[in-house]
């Protein structure tokens, strides 16, 4: 029978971010619109197995987390306490704040935001049998041992080696007893909590559960970029999940700029089918010039009057001109920049006040060319890269007010704009605008922010084959 003992997750957030090199504690770095520690808290909060969460925070920056104490997202978060000078000091302070020898305690790094339910469950379940549990993954690299001269002195068998992660989980009485013994040792030194149990309670077996490569620790500058990409890959899965049915958008007000044809028109139809009330604005249907701040402002005011509330603003308006840059007219150059980049920025600025009232979001559109400029439409590619940067920047600016912003990245799509630029293309090589619209409606319901959600041609085709 499963143990029903209380389970506490202790988030270790004592780092100061020296190696990551961004001038702030690494746990406060924003990725996908939120501080890393918030992503970690969300993962722990979502677990039905965890009863309480405590944060041990770098004492010099503890005030940075004051806002989380009353954040409705984290009802299990009971205390934010100052950490110590070292990892071991911080653990001992956490132990002193807890009671009950049988309490299950999970110590988890704040900067491992990709912990999943399976790891959490495995650690908690293992504590029904063991008093100490570690999380680890096999080493993909050969590990060498060197001597003081820098020469190889040993090459351990890789099959017996693991790379440690967190959580490290314990019965509270066990980890407390280990530290009590460690404090009596003047030579005490350990890099993690399982090391303390291993050294001072050798009779206690330490069980190892499988971690995941994604359960990475954000420590170096490159880790920030990897973590950001992992969040993007997670959001990409929206294009493959739940496509058989539209989400429920009943009661939501949606504004679409550029909804007269192509993807925009499909979004209007599908959002309405999902229960939303939609207002569409474009040059051809309402005479709205999205590059005019005044006309955008008037359009949003009109939408607010008719809808009563604005929950989502979608911007699909765009232009694509194919020509080498040196052959591009000044008029076309200006129009491309104004329509594809200036207009989204104007719309975001004017939409913010309406979305702040509803905790709503902006959905922009980029192109797969944002990752690498394409010959003969260099300006278009540049503006689409700018839209991605705009999305990421505003997700941070707006995070504290609950306003979200995401970006849809459809691969080649059968739209009038694309046909005009590239002519007819082979069947099966293009996305259906309806599929892109379906993904967009699901993003409206998701809790994402700061994400680039890719809609993949091959993946969507495979999904249709499975239906």
The CATH-assigned architecture of domain 7-219 is Alpha-Beta Complex (3.90)
147 Cβ contact list (under 8 Å, min separation 6):
153
Give DSSP secondary structure letters for 101-150.
TT-EEEEEETT-TT--HHHHHHHHHHTTT-SEEEEEEE-SS---EE-TTS
Q: What is the mean pLDDT of residues 285-311?
A: 97
- Minimum mean pLDDT range among 220-229, 386-395, 433-442: 220-229
Rounded alpha-carbon distances, angstroms, from residue 38 to 73, 97, 262: 10, 22, 37
pTM for the structure as a whole: 0.68
Identify the CA nearest to 97 among candidates 38, 54, 35.
54
Residue 400 has pLDDT above 90, yes or no: no
In this prediction, residue 59 carries a pLDDT of 87
pLDDT of residue 150: 92
Take residue 343 and report the two structure tokens written for it: 């207009």
Q: In CATH, which superfamily holds the domain spanning 233-466?
A: NAD(P)-binding Rossmann-like Domain (3.40.50.720)
Query: Which residues belong to CATH 3.40.50.720 in the chain?
Result: 233-466
Residue pair 154/253 in contact by the 8 Å Cβ criterion: no
If one compares 460 and 278, the residue with the highest pLDDT of the two is: 278
pLDDT at 1: 39
- Give ranges for CATH 3.90.550.10 in the chain: 7-219
pLDDT tens per residue, range 154-189? 999 888 899 999 999 999 999 999 999 999 999 898
- Higher pLDDT: 22 or 216? It is 216
Say which residues have a Cβ less than 8 Å from residue 311's Cβ, sequence separation at least 6: 252, 253, 254, 276, 355, 358, 360, 361, 444
Angle made by CA atoms 232, 236, 237, in degrees to the nearest 5: 130
Residue 407, H or E segment: strand 404-410
Instruction: Give the span between the Cα atoms of 283 and 348, in whole angstroms.
Output: 18
CA dist., res. 75 & res. 78, Å (int):
8
Average pLDDT over the chain, rounded to an integer: 88
Average pLDDT over residues 40-59: 94
Write out pLDDT tens, residues 220-279. Answer: 888 887 887 787 666 555 545 556 678 999 999 999 999 888 889 999 999 999 999 999
Backbone angles phi, psi at 104, to 5 degrees: -90, 125
């Amino acid at each position: 029978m499963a143990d029903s003992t209380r389970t506490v997750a202790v988030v270790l957030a004592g780092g100061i971010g020296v190696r990551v090199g961004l001038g702030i504690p690494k746990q406060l770095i924003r990725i996908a619109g939120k501080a890393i520690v918030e992503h970690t808290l969300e993962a722990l909060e979502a677990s039905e197995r965890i009863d309480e969460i405590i944060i041990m925070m770098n004492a010099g920056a503890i005030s940075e987390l004051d806002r989380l104490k009353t954040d409705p997202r984290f009802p299990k978060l009971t205390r934010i306490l100052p950490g110590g000078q070292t990892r071991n000091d911080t653990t001992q302070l956490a132990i002193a704040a807890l009671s009950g020898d049988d309490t299950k305690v999970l110590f988890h790094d704040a900067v491992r935001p990709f912990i999943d339910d399976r790891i959490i469950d495995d650690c908690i379940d293992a504590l029904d049998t063991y008093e100490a549990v570690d999380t680890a993954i096999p080493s993909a690299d050969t590990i060498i041992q060197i001597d003081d001269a820098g020469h190889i002195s040993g090459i351990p068998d890789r099959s017996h080696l693991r790379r440690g992660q967190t959580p490290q989980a314990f019965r509270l009485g066990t980890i407390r007893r280990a530290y009590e013994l460690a404090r009596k040792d003047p030579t005490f030194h350990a890099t993690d909590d399982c090391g303390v149990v291993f050294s001072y309670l050798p009779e206690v077996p330490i069980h190892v559960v499988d971690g995941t490569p994604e359960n990475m620790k954000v420590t170096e500058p490159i880790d920030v970029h990897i973590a950001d990409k992992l969040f993007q890959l997670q959001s990409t899965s929206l294009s493959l999940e739940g496509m058989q049915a539209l989400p429920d958008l009943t009661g939501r007000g949606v504004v679409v700029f550029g909804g007269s044809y192509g993807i925009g028109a499909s979004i209007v139809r599908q959002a309405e089918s999902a229960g939303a009330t939609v207002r569409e604005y474009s040059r051809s249907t309402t005479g709205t010039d999205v590059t005019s701040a005044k006309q955008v402002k008037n359009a949003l005011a009109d939408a607010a009057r008719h809808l009563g509330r604005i929950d989502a603003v979608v911007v699909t308006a765009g232009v694509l001109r194919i020509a080498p840059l040196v052959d591009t007219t000044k008029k076309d150059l200006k129009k491309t920049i104004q329509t594809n980049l200036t207009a989204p920025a104007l719309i975001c600025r004017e939409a913010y006040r309406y979305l702040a009232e509803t905790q709503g979001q902006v959905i922009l559109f980029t192109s797969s060319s944002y990752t690498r400029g394409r010959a003969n439409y260099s300006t278009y590619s540049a503006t689409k890269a700018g839209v991605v940067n705009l999305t990421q920047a505003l997700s941070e600016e707006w995070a504290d007010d609950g306003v979200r912003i995401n970006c849809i990245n459809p691969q080649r799509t059968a739209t009038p704009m694309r046909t005009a630029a590239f002519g007819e293309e082979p069947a099966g090589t293009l996305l259906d605008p309806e599929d892109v619209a379906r993904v967009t409606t699901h993003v409206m319901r998701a809790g994402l922010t700061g994400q680039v959600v890719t809609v993949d041609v091959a993946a969507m085709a495979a999904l249709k084959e499975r239906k």
